[in-house]
Structure 1
Amino acid sequence: MQRAENRSATWDLGADTTLVRILARNAELLGDHVAMREKHLGIWQETTWAQMLDATLAFAASLQSMGFGQEDALLVLGDNRPNLYMGMLAAGVLGGYAMPAYPDATPDEIRHFMHEANARFVLAEDQEQVDKALDLGEVSSTIEHIIYDEPRGLASYQHPGLVSWDKLQTRGIERLRAEPSLRKTLIESAKPEGPAVFVHSSGTTGKPKGVVLSHRNILTGVGNAFRGGAFDFGESVLAYLPMAWVGDFAITIGAGVALHFVINIPERQETVLHDLREVAPSFYLAAPRSWDNMLTTIQVRMEDSTPLKKWLYDVFMNSALTAERQKLEGKPVSLKNRLLRPLGEWLVFGPIKDQFGLTRLRHAFTGGEAIGEDTFVFYRALGVKLRQFYGQTESSAFNALQDPQEVRLHTVGKPLPGVEVQIADNGEIMLRSGSVFSGYYKLEKATQEALENGWLHTGDAGYLEPDGHIVVLGRLSEVVYTAKGERFIPNYIENRLKFSPYVKDAAVLGKDRDSLAVMICIDKETVGHWAEVRGISYMSYADLSQNPEVIKLITQAVQRVNGILPDALKLRHFVSLHKEFDPDDGEVTRTRKLRRNVIEQRYAPIIDAIYSGKQSVTMKAQITYETGEVGSIERELTVQEV
C-alpha cells in the first residue's frame, strides 16, 4: 500500500476523464495490487487492478458484439458482487446505462425501470434474479439477453437469451485477442459527459424518477469529497450498501476506482457484521438505523456479560460519555475523565471496537436522516469519530459533511469544496456543483422544476448558520400547518421518535387538524429482546406491538419527544401498528422514506378513529409477500392518549 500512497500525486482527480481511463491507469501502475476482495464460501478471493480491467473490457467486448451500444440499458439485479460492479463499468465503457435495481424490488418496480429505458439486457446475480427476469420477459418483449453470474441451479434452463458471465468473458477475451486495437478503443470510447450510472430518486411522492449521472458528475463529486476530507487514497471499504443507492456507486466505484480503494464485498447481507470485523475498514458509511442496531447489539452483549465486565463498562463508558458531551458543548474535559481515557481504551473501548471491526476506522459517517443524540455521542465516546454527511441522488451523493474538529449535533457540516449553497426565499436549500445531474430521464417538466440557472432545488428545508454550517430541517414539501395555523415538519418529529431504539418507523399526523398524533411501528428485534429479558411472551409482531407493557414503553418514547416540542405541536395520541411499513406494500421506499399519500389512504380508518375520539379501531392491513401475492392481517388497535 505504501507504493500506492507514494504515487497518489500522479492520479488525476479532475473531472475531464472517465472511470475506465482511471481504471486503466490503476492497472498500469498498480496492476498487482488488490482492487476487490469477495468473501466466497468463507474465503476471501482477491481481484487485482489488472484483472479488474481485463474482466471489464472482456465483458464490454462481448456486450458490444451482442448489440449493446450507446443509450442501451443494462438492468442489474442482485446483491453486491464483483462481476456486477464490473458489468456496470462495462456498460459505461460503451456509453450505455448501467441501471441497478434493489435486490428485493417488486416485479412492478423492476418493470417500471425496464420500460423506462427499454432495457434489452439484464445482468443477474443468481437463479433467484434470473427467475425474476424471466418472469418479466414473459410479459414484456424488451428483454433479449439475461447474463447470470452464479451458475448454481441454472444448468437445466433452456431460455435462448440466457448466457453466463464466464462464457461472455471467454468470448470477450477471444475478441480482444483477434482485434489488437479494440482494447485501446474501448478504454478511450467513453466520454466524460457520457453516462456512468442510471439510478433513481427515492420516489416518495410517486414513481421513482430516473437520474443519469455522467462520469464528470461522479468524479466531480468524488473530488469534492476528497478535498473535504471524506476519504483519502488507498482506503479499505466494505461494499455492502444496496447497489441501486447512489451512495454505493459513488463510494465503491467512483471513489473506489479514482482513489484506488481496496473494495471488500461481504459473502451475504446476513454476514455483514461478521465480515466487517474481519475487514476492519478504514472508511465506513451507514444509515442511523445501522449504527443504532450495532449499539443495541453492544448493549445486549454487555447485559449478558459478567458483573465485573459490566461494572468496568459502566465506569469507563460513563466517563467517556461525559467527556464527549463536554467537548460538544465547548467545555474543557475534566482531569478525571482525561486520566481514565487511556485505561478505558485498553480495558473496554479497544476490545469493543475490535469485536465490531472498528479498530482501523478513520472515516466514519452517517447520513440519510437525523441520528439520535445518544447514539452519536456513544460512538464518539467509544473513539469512533462519527460524522454526519449530507447528499442526494441528483448531486452524485456528496454535498456537505462535518469536519472532525467541528462536529455539531444539529448540523450536517459545511458545503464541500466545489459546492455552492444558498437558501431560497421559501427556505429551500439550493446548491450548484459539477456533480449535479443534467436532468431527469425523459421528464422535461420535472427537470425544469429541479434545475434553475444551474442551481439544484434540493427539496430540503433548512438554513445556513453564520459560520457556514448547514442545518437540514426536512423535506420542503412536508412543511404543513395545523388547523390553528401552527407550522411543522412531520419528518423532523418522526426522526426524533426514531431516536428511540424501540421505534422503527413513525408517521406523524396533524395537517389541518387541531392536534398532532402519530402511528408507530415498533422495532421487532429490539422490543422483542426487551420483552424476552422481562419474561413477556408473544406470538407475532402484531401480538408484541399491542402488549400493554410495550404500549407503556412506546408512551415513554413519545413523552420524551414531547418534552422538546412546543405545546401546540405536542403529540396527543398514538397508535402502535400491527405491522411494519413495508416497501413491498408501497408504504415506504427502498430507503425507508415514507410515502405519505399511500399511508394516509391505507390507514384512513386509524386516522379517523384518532380524530373522532374513539378508543380503539379494528384495522385490516394489506401484506405483499415475496412472491407478489397479496394477503391481509386484521387486528383491533388501541388509540393511546399521551
Structure 2
Amino acid sequence: MTRHATIPPMETVKGVAINVDSSQRPLLVDGCDTISGLFRHRAQSEPTRIAHREKTLGIWREFTWADYWTHAKWIGLGLRRLGLQRGEVVQILSEDRKEWLYFDQGVQCMGGISSGIYTTDSSSQVAYILQNSRCRFLVVENEEQLDKFLDIPDGAPGVDKVIILEDEGLHDLKGERFLFLPELYALGQQEEAEHPGSFEAEIDKAQPQDVALLIYTSGTTGAPKGAMLTHENVLHAIQAGLRNLAVRPEAEQLCFLPLCHIFERNNSAYFPIAARSVVNFAESPETVFDNLREVSPEVFAAVPRVWEKVYSRVLILASEATWTGRMAYGLAMKAGMARAEAETGGKPLSILGRAGVALAELLVFRNLRQLLGMDRLKQGISGAAPISPALLKWYRAIGVPVFEGYGMTENAATCTVNRPGADRLGATGQAMPGVDLRIAEDGEIQSRALANFKGYWELPEKTAETFTADGWLRTGDIGRIDDDGFLIITGRLKDIIITAGGKNITPAEIESRLKFSHYISDAVIIGDRRKYLTALIMIDQENVEKFAQTARVPYADFASLTRAPQVQDLIRAEIDQVNKEFARVEQIKDFRLIDVLLTAEDDELTATMKLKRSFVEKKHKALIDDMYR
C-alpha cells in the first residue's frame, strides 16, 4: 500500500483502481505506488491465476502468479546473498523467456536496477554496456551469449558473477565467477530461511522516484545511452495502457520483441501485472508466426517490420493460389477497401457495400485471419517506428484493427495512440491521459508527463540537453497537431534534408511510402546539400526471390539478385509509382540496391530493426557518390 497520507480520487478501469487524473501524484495502481509493490499485490491476491506460458518440448506449459512470485523472490534473495546493493544495475543477456521476467522483478524488488542487453549485440557492445552501467551481476542465457562475455579482452573486471540460465554444453565450466540458475535459487532459499520476510521488507523500502530500470537507447546517433526510468514513470505507462489498450484479465498476448526495449517491456512485463493478462513467450524469433497462430492473441503489439512481413506473406499466398483463389481474393479486397474507406471517412457503407463485405468475410477474410492467427485480435498496435498509412488501410480491409502509437524510451513509450473510436490514418493518435503536447517554433514535438524519464545514466549534460528550460521533453521528432488533437509526425529534426536549391525535405514520409511496396524492405533517402534526391534500397529477399523465380531471372546469390536487370527494373517501377505522390522536388531521381542482407548484427541496423542513417551513408558512400556523378 502507498505511504502517502493524501489519496487521490480513484476510478476503476478493467477491474483495476487507478488515478482519476493520471498527472496527479501519487500515481497509484490498485493502491500501489511502485512496480514491485504492484507485483506483490497481484501475486498474493491471485496466486493460482495463470501469469504466462512457455513451450517445453513442443508443449505449452502454464505458470501461475505464485510461480512468478516464488522464483522472483529466490532470485532477488540469492542476488542479495551475493552482495547486490540497492541502486546497482543487473544486466540480462537473453532471448525472451519467463526467467527474463523473474530476474526483472527479483532485481527491482530488492531495490536493484534491471537492465537488458540485446542478444544481437557483439562482444564489444556487451563490454561497453557492462562497463558503462558498472554492472557487477550479469545474467546470460546460454553458451552462445556466455561466449560474448568470455571474448571481452580485459575480462570485464567489474563483473563479479555471471549467472547462466542453460547449462547445455557448459557442464565442464569452472570458476568462481560463474553460477548456474539452480544454484542461485538455492542461495535464495537459504537467505529466505535465515531472514524470513526480508524480500517483502525490501519491497516496502522502494520509493516512486527510485530508478527501476535502465533502458539503453538503440544508438542511432552514437554510443548507446542508458535511460533511467523510475517506478512512477512505468506506473504512468501502465495507467495509459489500461485506458487505451484492449488488455483484460486472461486476455492472451504473445511476447517476441526484445524485452530490453521499453515497447515490449511495457506490453509483456508491466501491463500484464496490472491487467492480469496471460503472456505467451514465442519459442524464438524464427517461430513468431507459427506461435502467433497457436496463441491467437487478443492484443498484438509489433514494430512496422513485422506488420509489413505479414502483409508480404499474404501477397505471396495470394499469388500462389489458383485462378479461382486469386479472383476471390481480389474481389474480397475491393469490398474490404470500401469498408476501410468508410471507416476512415466516418461514413456508413451502402447496402450493396455491406453485402459485399459480408460475402468477403464468409469466403476469404475469416479464413485469412485464422491463418494469420489474428481471428481473435481486438487491437493490434504498431510502434517504435513510422508505419505506412496504406499498410494500416490494408489491415482494416481484411478486418484486422491495427492502430499506430507513438512514444520513445525517454517517455516510457507513452505519448500518443490511436484507438477504437478515436483513430486517424496518417496520425499517431491523440495524447494519452496525463500527457501534454506542444510544437516548438522549429517544429519539434515536446511532451510533458509523469512518464518522462529521470535522465541518462551518468550523463548530466546530455540529460540537460534533452529537456527545455521549463521542463518539457525534447523528442527530436518534428510534426504538427491537428484541430482534433491528433499528432502527425513528419520526420526527425536531425534527418531534415536541405537540398542545394534550399528546399527543406523530411524523408520519413517518402521512405515509409517506399516500404509499403512488398518488394522493398527499407529505404534511405539521400540529398542533403545536393541537387536532387536519391535512394539506397534494401529489397525484400523473400518477395524479390519469388518474383525472380516466376520471371525466370537467373541469379546465384543475394548480391547477383540485386544486380539482375529485371530486378532493377522492378524496383525502378515501384519508385516511379511512389514519385507520383510527391512534388517534383521530393521525387527520387536515382537509386542503388544494397547488395548485402542486413541484420541486427550489422552496424547499419539497430536491434529493433531501425536503420542507422549515418552508418548506412558512411558504409555505402561509393554507391551514393555514383548516383551524383
Structure 1 partner of 2:620:
603
Q: How far off its partner does 1:110 sit?
A: 1.2
**SS state at 1:206 partner:** coil
CA distance in 2, matches of 1:342, 1:174: 63
* 1:120-160 deviation digits (Å, cap 9, x = unpaired): 11111111112222223753211221111122111111132
Q: Do structure 1's residue 557 and structure 2's residue 541 form an aligned pair?
A: no
Q: C-alpha deviations, 1:380-399, integer Å up to 9, x for none?
A: 12111111111110000121
Contact 1:15 / 1:219 at 8 angstroms: preserved in 2?
no
Asked if the contact 1:222–1:398 (Cα under 8 Å) also holds between the matched residues in 2, the reply is no
Which structure 2 residues correspond to residues 40-439 of structure 1 after superposition, within 5 A? 40-136=56-152, 138-229=154-245, 231-439=247-455
CA distance in 2, matches of 1:299, 1:582: 23
Measured at CA, do residues 302 and 567 of structure 1 come closer, stay the same or move farther in structure 2, by a change above 3 Å?
closer
Q: Which residue identity lines up with residue 610 of structure 1 in the other structure?
A: M
Cα separation, partners in 2 of 1:305 and 1:608, compared to 1, 3 Å: closer
Distance of 2:137 and 2:16 partners within structure 1: 39
AA aligned opposite 2:15: S
Unaligned residue ranges in structure 1 (runs of 5+)? 613-642
Aligned to 1:440: 456
Letter in 2 for 1:215: H
**TM-superposition CA deviations, 1:387-412 (whole Å, max 9, x none):** 11111100001211112123222111
SS at match of 1:139: coil
Deviation of 1:413 (Å):
0.8
Name structure 2 gaps, 5 residues minimum. Answer: 1-11, 19-27
Question: Would the aligned equivalents of 1:505 and 1:581 in 2 still touch at CA under 8 Å?
Answer: no
Q: Report which stretch shifted further, 332-341 or 445-454.
A: 332-341
Q: Could you say if the C-alpha distance between residues 473 and 14 of structure 1 is closer, same or farther in structure 2, counting changes exceeding 3 Å?
A: farther
Alignment equivalent of 1:576, drawn from 573, 593, 604: 593
Please give the alpha-carbon distance, in whole angstroms, between the structure 2 residues aligned to 1:598 and 1:183. Answer: 46
Give the AA of the match of 2:178: L
Q: Displacement, 1:92?
A: 1.2
Q: How many residues are matched?
A: 608
8 Å contact from structure 2 (residues 374, 400) kept in 1: yes
Within 1, Cα distance between the matches of 2:246 and 2:429? 12
| Aligned match of 2:9 | none
Determine if contact 2:339/2:357 at 8 Å carries over to the other structure. Answer: no
Q: Give the share of equivalent positions with the same residue, in percent.
A: 29
Q: Partner of 2:496 in structure 1?
A: 479
514 and 306 in structure 1: CA distance in 2 versus 1, 3 angstrom threshold: closer
Choose which of 485, 509, 526 in structure 2 pairs with 1:509: 526
1:594-614 residue CA offsets vs partner (Å, 9 max, x unmatched): 3333233222222222212xx
Q: Match of 1:584, SS?
A: coil
- Pairwise CA distance, 1:495: 1.9
Query: Quick check: 349-358 or 573-582, which moved more?
Result: 573-582
* 1:185 positional shift: 1.2
Tell me what 2:15 maps to. Answer: 8
Amino acid at match of 2:200: K
The offset of 1:589, in angstroms, is: 2.0
Moved more, 186-195 or 388-397: 186-195
Cα distance per residue 1:530-573 (max 9 Å; x no partner): 21222223211111111111101110121122112211221111
Q: Give yes or no for contact 2:111–2:202 (8 Å, CA) kept in 1.
A: no
Following superposition, the deviation at residue 229 of structure 1 comes to 4.1
1:383 partner letter: G
TM-score (norm 1): 0.91
Contact 2:490-2:509 within 8 A present in 1 as well = yes
CA contact (8 A) 2:16 2:275 kept: no
Distance 2:423 2:563 in 1: 39
Paired residue for 1:588?
605
Residues 381/130 of structure 1: CA separation in 2 closer, same or farther (3 Å cut)? same
* Greater Cα offset, 598-607 or 215-224: 598-607
Root-mean-square deviation (Å):
2.0
**Aligned partners of 2:326 and 2:506: how far apart in 1?**
40
CA distance in 2 between counterparts of 1:512 and 1:124 reads 46
